[in-house]
Structure 1
Amino acid sequence: MVDSRPSRPSTLRIVSLNCWGLKYLAKYRNERLEEIGIQLASAVPQPDIVGLQECWTQQDYNSIREKTRHLLPYGKFYHSGIFGGGLVILSRWPIEESSMVQYPLNGRPAAFYRGDWFVGKGVACARIRTGPESRDLVEVFCTHLHAPYETEPFDSYLCHRTAQAWEIAKLMRGAAERGHLVIGMGDFNMVPLSLAHRIIEAHSPVRDVWRMLHPESSIGAAKDLVEKKRGLPTPTAEFNLATNGTTCDSVLNTWRWNEAHKKRLAKGENVVIENSVLDPSAKRLDYIFFSSGPHRGATTGELSSEWTLECANVGMTARHPRLYCSLSDHFSVEATLTRHISNPAKTSDDKGQCIMSETCLPIDTYDEILSIIFAYSQREQWQRHLRMAHLLFQLVLSISCLVAVWWSPHNYVSFILMFVSTIGLSVGVVDGLMGGLFVSSELRALKEFEWEVGNVKTRAIDAIASSRTLENGG
């Protein structure tokens, strides 16, 4: 398919949406995701790169591709884990290279009712060529971090989400060091300025597009303590969309309505919620990060183009035209980047790449991360002991039941003993495998994460010491 746009675009329109496409569980899944494809295809301005999360099935992916193929002829459905990672990248330009990088720390198999471990969450990576030059490469990273099930800092999966933020920051930093435009997007399951958010912006050159435009926007839901401390009035739904960039738990989203409104909607009534109503629960969980700096050619000295942020908005708020429900339990976050030529303050090295300055978090933040790792490691070591003890107990119980069959007075008693022996031993073996294999693997991943954080902390301390020496004239 021939693209009618110029070979080197002057703008990039980016869209990220959590589709809520859980198979068998999400209501009206097929209808909603089909309509998502229709609205993407008719969006103004037209999207150039789209990242989707929770698009779990090939069927739904094909439906969206069918609706958007004329606009976004290139796409990739990413396979991961046991049930799939639910990640999709669509593009106007060819995807030259792609990979699916699974997170080393990603939930627990025992929490099967949550599913994070089984879907193999990670980062969908794609290199997209937007022009004929070698520098016309965009590296896109689409992700869905582990869901929070309690409020921080009491969330038992805080360590996982922190490690995942660390991993995607490394991937985006590497792309920026190659001199490419970097776009990171997805459902990060974090609020602005949380620990994961600060890690991403400190350990990679990317910036949160929303805070670039709205630095005073909310850092949580209005009902949360962190937001109450700011002393601001409860925002309206309209203010949340336009200024706070809230994409989740909005009062305008039908999947967050109370039961009375849901019943009216189920009867086919188009319930209207005014934008002026107060919206205390809405928060921002979906993000677009980007990084672009000026570059100079290694041989010609020619200045290359630099991408800057033009605008960002919350989108996909329109409801399904027939069902009157929201298209997902999230709204999309969208941004437009503009290309222009500038005179860089710093020239590049002999490879034509921009010079990047390393940033770091405050030292006590690294101590906080290390304490989180330590606490979670202690928990998992205790879990391993309990699971292995459970295996031993079930083994003894199973043997005892088999021995008791010899003295069983009735056949039905023998059956019960055999049943208890079989079921108990099966459960014990599964638990023992999780303790002996999964927990051990997780503890090794934690050791790697701990070493990386400790290493960066040491470098940060050395950098502070060197800076103080220079200031003192040493």
Structure 2
Amino acid sequence: MNQATSLSILSLNVWGLKYISSHRLSRIKAIAHSIRSSTYDVLLLQELWVLSDYTYLQTQISHLFPYSHHYASGLFGSGLAIFSRFEIVDTEFTEYKLNGHPLAVWRGDWYVGKGIAWAEILVSGRRIEVFNTHYHAPYGQQMDTYMVHRLSQAYQLRRQIRKALARNSLVICAGDFNSSPLSLCHMLIHSILADSFITKNPDLPVHPQPEMTNEYLVQVMGITCDTPLNSYRRHISTHDRQLRYDHLYTNMVPTSHKVVFTQNVNMAEFSGKQAIGSVSDHFGINVDLLPNLNTSSSSPDITQSSFTDILALLNKHLRRERRHSRFRIAHFWVSLVIGISLTISLFWTKFGWKSFLLSFVSNLVFVFGVIDGIVGFIWGRWEINSMMEFKSEIEREVIRDSDHHRLS
């Protein structure tokens, strides 16, 4: 194999939800068409839920990317995939311990089995460890009820990256992190592995400023999500909603960082439908890297106060989840009593619409009570125990940080 002088990485959330994502098939075809004329070396894709979409991409780009892997997990898959010009030596998938709620069926995060897609690729005789991930979505600007879940995911990923760094590996970690720059989730990774955008643009402000145009935010500030320049997000107008959620962290030398797949495409070319729009609800990022260790860049330390803030959020979330769990279990017992009472009352009710109504209501009360009881008892304990373990890990971080400052 020829000596690789640089690596070109693409990270893209393809928004591939079956039956839900608009123009999915046309957009997948447009993505494949664009990639066929690209110079990327490694593709890291998120939300590639449908296996047939993955196999379609395989058939279209396998001459450029002979090595690929689609990570299976959960009920509907992880949505994560890697395509590579270089040999994939090994792969592994680690499911996140905390990833949404089973009753939030309409959101689906709990059912898809999000996690950490790891691969080891062989580039010019050197092994590079690659991580691809997709954190739980915020689902709301004012009250982010899943912040603790994303913090747990970030910390789980952080631990895996630290092990890779301890092996003196070159590391790439990319994906849709649903986390803004310098947030707690972002800093858990950025403190051990540099955000390539910040490395390339150290003097840029972290967040959008009012005077910046939408074009400037995308082209210069690296905005990839919730920009009105995206045809699926045209309803968004305020700057504070435009986000850089897609990141690439690395200990290698970034030579360029670009936002890509920003162009609108004519869907008629791929499906016959007269629609012009973006290829996804996210823009992608393309980062070019020198395949050697970056010795001149250092990541900022995450402070003890940050870990203390995480502990405070954890304790607040634990109190809420314990309360919810108790409520669900209580609802089960109350529903059981009401359901049995309504069933008994059928013996004193003549057959007819009243009997049918009582039977229907008693069954409905009982079913919802049982579901809530199962979720409260099984899932409630599951989530609380996972959070307790996460809490103990963060407490150890606080102790280690205190000891370090005391000795220094």
Q: TM-score range by the shorter chain?
A: over 0.9
Quick one: structure 1 residues 421 and 285, their matched pair in 2 at CA, closer, same or farther if it must change by over 3 Å? Answer: same
* Alpha-carbon separation, structure 1, partners of 2:239 and 2:163: 39
* C-alpha contact (below 8 Å) 1:237/1:278 kept by paired residues: no
* Alpha-carbon separation, structure 1, partners of 2:99 and 2:233: 27
Give, in angstroms, the shift of residue 360 of structure 1. Answer: 4.6
Structure 2 residue aligned with 1:384: 325
* Alpha-carbon separation, structure 1, partners of 2:332 and 2:231: 46
* C-alpha contact (below 8 Å) 1:208/1:289 kept by paired residues: yes
1:9 to 4, 8, 12: 4
How many residues in Structure 1 have an aligned counterpart in Structure 2? 400
What is the identity, as a one-letter code, of the residue corresponding to 1:146?
Answer: H
Structure 2 residue aligned with 1:199: 188
The answer on 1:316 being equivalent to 2:261 is yes
* Alpha-carbon separation, structure 2, partners of 1:171 and 1:53: 19
What is the identity, as a one-letter code, of the residue corresponding to 1:317?
Answer: T
Give SS of 1:20's match.
Answer: coil
Moved more, 361-370 or 434-443: 361-370
Give structure 2 stretches of 5+ with no counterpart: 269-274
Partner deviation per Cα, 1:78-126 (whole Å, 9 max, x = no partner): 1111121111111111211111111111111111111111111111111
Moved more, 386-395 or 404-413: 404-413
What is the identity, as a one-letter code, of the residue corresponding to 1:327?
Answer: V
Note the 1:233-382 alignment, pairs <5 A. 233-258=210-235, 281-292=241-252, 308-321=253-266, 322=268, 323-339=275-291, 360-382=301-323
Higher RCO (C-alpha 8 Å, min separation 6): 2
* C-alpha contact (below 8 Å) 1:78/1:84 kept by paired residues: yes
Give, in angstroms, the shift of residue 151 of structure 1. Answer: 2.8
Note the 1:76-95 alignment, pairs <5 A. 76-95=69-88
What is the identity, as a one-letter code, of the residue corresponding to 2:360?
Answer: F
What is the identity, as a one-letter code, of the residue corresponding to 1:413?
Answer: K
Moved more, 55-64 or 235-244: 235-244
* C-alpha contact (below 8 Å) 2:15/2:47 kept by paired residues: yes
Partner deviation per Cα, 1:380-413 (whole Å, 9 max, x = no partner): 0001111001111111111111110110023322
What is the identity, as a one-letter code, of the residue corresponding to 1:337?
Answer: L
Quick one: structure 1 residues 196 and 181, their matched pair in 2 at CA, closer, same or farther if it must change by over 3 Å? Answer: same
The answer on 1:19 being equivalent to 2:9 is no
What is the identity, as a one-letter code, of the residue corresponding to 2:111?
Answer: F
1:102 to 81, 95, 98: 95
* C-alpha contact (below 8 Å) 2:13/2:46 kept by paired residues: yes
Give, in angstroms, the shift of residue 279 of structure 1. Answer: 6.0
- Report percent identity of matched pairs: 34
* C-alpha contact (below 8 Å) 2:190/2:299 kept by paired residues: no
Give, in angstroms, the shift of residue 150 of structure 1. Answer: 2.5
Partner deviation per Cα, 1:261-285 (whole Å, 9 max, x = no partner): xxxxxxxxxxxxxxxx996642211
* C-alpha contact (below 8 Å) 2:228/2:235 kept by paired residues: no
Partner deviation per Cα, 1:38-65 (whole Å, 9 max, x = no partner): 111212xx11111111111001111111
* C-alpha contact (below 8 Å) 1:124/1:141 kept by paired residues: yes
1:186 to 149, 166, 175: 175
* Alpha-carbon separation, structure 1, partners of 2:202 and 2:69: 34
Structure 2 residue aligned with 1:212: 199
Quick one: structure 1 residues 92 and 361, their matched pair in 2 at CA, closer, same or farther if it must change by over 3 Å? Answer: same
* Alpha-carbon separation, structure 1, partners of 2:58 and 2:299: 40
Partner deviation per Cα, 1:124-158 (whole Å, 9 max, x = no partner): 111111233xxx11111111111112336x31111
Structure 1 residue aligned with 2:46: 53
* Alpha-carbon separation, structure 1, partners of 2:336 and 2:20: 37
What is the identity, as a one-letter code, of the residue corresponding to 1:286?
Answer: D
Give SS of 2:265's match.
Answer: coil
What is the identity, as a one-letter code, of the residue corresponding to 1:379?
Answer: R
* Alpha-carbon separation, structure 2, partners of 1:91 and 1:129: 10
Structure 2 residue aligned with 1:227: none
What is the identity, as a one-letter code, of the residue corresponding to 1:194?
Answer: S
* Alpha-carbon separation, structure 2, partners of 1:435 and 1:459: 35
* Alpha-carbon separation, structure 1, partners of 2:338 and 2:276: 56
* Alpha-carbon separation, structure 2, partners of 1:444 and 1:249: 35
Give structure 1 stretches of 5+ with no counterpart: 223-231, 260-276, 293-307, 346-356, 468-474
Structure 1 residue aligned with 2:113: 120
TM-score by length of 1: 0.81
* Alpha-carbon separation, structure 2, partners of 1:258 and 1:371: 35
Structure 2 residue aligned with 1:228: none
2:152 to 142, 163, 178: 163
Structure 1 residue aligned with 2:272: none
